Amino acid sequence: MTTLYGIANCDTVKKAQRWLQTNNVAFSFHDFRKDGLTEQQLNVWIEQLGWEVLLNKRSTSWRQLDDEVKNNIDQASAIREMLATPTLIKRPVLVQNDSYKVGFKENEYSALFSD
């Protein structure tokens, strides 16, 4: 089962969706802005990828955080902030069986689905 997590209006998510469709990969899309995200799911991603990888420090949401939060970010506060503001999560997150990818790189998707 393949699941693509992100938000519907994100250009990178749209590119990933197009690639999956073009390459006939069956997937479900989970919009974590509309459908939500549990702490348990976020913890699985952190275990697989690391919170630093998931936290998008280039996002508008990150820039809008108080400097106090940004300057003292750690795993616990990152989880708290990502659950409160899912747009802080780098997108998309692709879950393919036991493989996890963040962002969209065509060569990585090709390698993942070539098996």
pLDDT (0 to 100) of residue 12: 96
Residue 36's alpha-carbon distances to 4, 14, 18, 22, 41, in angstroms, are 13, 19, 23, 27, 10
Average per-residue pLDDT for the chain: 95
pLDDT tens digits, one per residue of 11-51: 999 999 999 999 999 999 999 989 999 999 999 999 999 99
pLDDT tens digits, one per residue of 72-97: 999 999 999 999 999 999 999 999 98
Q: Which domains does the chain have, with CATH numbers?
A: 2-112 (3.40.30.10)
Catalytic sites, residue numbers = 10
Which runs of E-coded beta strand occur in 1-115?
A: 2-6, 28-31, 93-96, 99-102
